[in-house]
Amino acid sequence: MQTRWDVVVVGGGHAGAEAALAAGRLGRKTLLLTRELSTVGRMSCNPAVGGLAKGQVVREIDALGGAMGLVADRTAIQFKVLNGSRGTAVRGPRCQSDKVLYAAEILRVLRASPNVTLGEGTAAGFFVKDGRLAGLTLEDGSTLSCGAAVVTTGTFLRGLVHVGDTRREAGRWNEPPARALSDALSSLGLRLGRMKTGTPPRVRAGTVDLAKMARAPGDERPVAFSFRSRDEAFPRQRQVDCWLTHTNEAVHDLIRESLPLSPLYSGRIVGRGPRYCPSIEDKVVRFADKPRHQIFVEPEGLSTDWLYLNGLSMSLPERIQESIVRMISGLERAEILRPAYAVEYDIVFPEQLDVSLETRALPGLFLAGQINGTSGYEEAAGQGLVAGTNASRAVTGDAPLRLGRHEAYIGVMLDDLVTLGLDEPYRLLTSRAEHRLLLGADTAYARLTGIALAFGLVTEREADPVLEAEARVARVSRALDAARVRPDRATKERLAGRGVSLTEETSLGGLLRRPGTDLDSIGELCAEMLDAGAARDLEELRPEERDRLVADLRYEGFLARERDAVARVARSSERAFPEGFVFAGLPGLSREAVEKLERHRPRTLGQASRLQGVTPAAVTLLLARLLAARPEAAA
């Protein structure tokens, strides 16, 4: 293996793949170093991509030139938009993936990437020159030198797998942990923590009675994640159903009786688990009054008979797991192919990173994915893309890509991680985004294509069709607003027939702003009133673009107010503290605020304002201080 690289990415999971692809797209000579190439792109847990907030992230990754959305589209066996009947901003595209095909396709995309080389090996440490990362040492004693590195080791750092009271060192089922890297990170002065996550049992399809379960089909009209899927056969795979069953009181009684045998409850697991993806033990304890919990039975792929029992993650002993599974309707004869298990692992507390994902302790060293305390493929992939981009830019001394909270869910996540820190695995939720109205999955390209182009993450050729589609929506919107509809008798009657009442003159856009009116109900009128160009534009809009057009018209007042608010906050919150700014001793700041500010060292006033203990009054004081230091910036 060559020994000098621009960027080395450690780990071939979801963060590592996007990091390497981004660095490769930016023209850096990139090595993706991972323990085993056969595990690249592996879905450690659920066979699914997307969901609420996560689906938005997949679109953002796609807009920034990443692979996750396109690979998900090519390998999905069911598509479903969550919250499909609600406003477009909160809809979450999701798919059920064929795990085998997904991993194979990620590997194929990586292999096809011109600047990316794949190599097997286990990173064990770092070497430093002139205060910067200069390379990596491997477990076999070899070394690699590089301009920058992105470490994405997932759940592998001192990984410990638990099933009941059995535990063994592993990063995932039957995969050895990474032992040396934790010490290497600690010796750089980074503070490490311990977290835990869990996965449910897998059962054999032929031993399950689906007739006793409710069918959970996908959407009749599948919606792709990726813009690029327009140019491909879609959906590419045969589409299948999932199934729904439930736990019951008897199951809950057995879980309650068995709690002393659960390493989570007996104290053998010390790491904190994800509150938003709780184990069944947690659900039974925390929601004691609920008589049943949903279990989605999800196929792991077309060529495998493994079924994933979504909702039944636990770490009880295997024999109890078997009893629990067999007490559930439809699973009475189920054969468990792999028991549920929990894994504990080391993380690096993310407040020690810049929002570019570079560690403050060692310039040139970037971290992304589960190692930063997040959980989920999408969260990992979004971070990987940003870290790969910024590692590449660090090599050439360019300013990093920093996504704002109003620009992307990825921006919300990165800001939360580095500003707030965490004490449990972090998962993206729509409620974490104060500007979620602006961050719908349908607006990802409008928000991010310009940034992707400016940073070289997509080429003009790739961006052009995306920008043209955006422009088409805007043209149709303008044309609809320009077309006047007069309340003459014939028009009133025609519209009444479609359930639309017309009392005064308005525009086609005005009609669409009324709840209950959609493009179908005024379709004939549009065909007659729009000029040929606008009519053609309208016809070419995809269903999702039509929905967005209407939503934009209907909510334009809210959206304008939201954009104003963003601009107002941005004007002051983007003000940066000068290098080495001393918070201690500033008159008027409470001791708690000073302690938080010194510990987290926010880069900007906005980041400072989100720290717990930093009150609005403290923010005003800090702003005054910044303005006093640079009065010319007050404008």
Ligand X SMILES: Cc1cc2nc3c(=O)[nH]c(=O)nc-3n(C[C@H](O)[C@H](O)[C@H](O)COP(=O)(O)OP(=O)(O)OC[C@H]3O[C@@H](n4cnc5c(N)ncnc54)[C@H](O)[C@@H]3O)c2cc1C
Which residues form the interface with ligand X (CB under 6 A)? 10-16, 33-35, 39, 44-45, 122-123, 152-156, 171-172, 178, 181, 197-199, 277, 343, 369-370, 375-377, 380
Shortest distance (Å) from residue 135 CB to ligand X:
14
Which one, 375 or 607, has the nearer CB to ligand X?
A: 375
Which one, 370 or 609, has the nearer CB to ligand X?
A: 370
Amino acid at 118: L
Which ranges of 77-179 would DSSP assign to H, the alpha helix?
A: 99-112
Which one, 12 or 65, has the nearer CB to ligand X?
A: 12
Which one, 33 or 458, has the nearer CB to ligand X?
A: 33
Q: Given phi > 0 = left and psi -120 to 50 = alpha, else beta, which region is 173? A: beta
Shortest distance (Å) from residue 198 CB to ligand X:
6
| E strand segments, 457-565 | 484-485, 506-507
Question: DSSP for 492-512?
Answer: HHHHHHTT----S-EEHHHHH
Which one, 181 or 190, has the nearer CB to ligand X?
A: 181
CB 429 within 8 Å of CB 53: yes
Q: Which of 247, 216, 199 is nearest to 99 (CA)?
A: 199
CB 495 within 8 Å of CB 517: no
Which one, 336 or 463, has the nearer CB to ligand X?
A: 336
Which one, 67 or 495, has the nearer CB to ligand X?
A: 67
Shortest distance (Å) from residue 32 CB to ligand X:
9
Shortest distance (Å) from residue 376 CB to ligand X:
3
Shortest distance (Å) from residue 477 CB to ligand X:
37
Which one, 76 or 312, has the nearer CB to ligand X?
A: 312
Shortest distance (Å) from residue 123 CB to ligand X:
4
Shortest distance (Å) from residue 34 CB to ligand X:
4
SS3 217: coil
DSSP letter at 302 equals S
331-348 burial, b if ≥16 CB within 10 A, otherwise e?
A: beebebbebbbbbbbbbb
Rounded CA separation 161/345 (Å): 9
Shortest distance (Å) from residue 152 CB to ligand X:
5
Rounded CA separation 436/439 (Å): 5
CB 316 within 8 Å of CB 341: no
Which one, 44 or 419, has the nearer CB to ligand X?
A: 44
Which one, 321 or 506, has the nearer CB to ligand X?
A: 321
Using a 10 angstrom Cβ sphere, with 0-12 exposed, 13-18 middle and 19 or more buried, the burial of residue 260 is exposed
Shortest distance (Å) from residue 67 CB to ligand X:
13
Which one, 61 or 181, has the nearer CB to ligand X?
A: 181
CB 305 within 8 Å of CB 240: no
Rounded CA separation 488/485 (Å): 9
Tokens of 4: 């000098």
CA torsion, ordered 200, 204, 210, 213, to nearest 10 deg: -10
CA torsion, ordered 547, 549, 554, 558, to nearest 10 deg: 110
Shortest distance (Å) from residue 624 CB to ligand X:
41
Shortest distance (Å) from residue 312 CB to ligand X:
11
Report the Cα 627 to chain-centroid distance in Å. 36
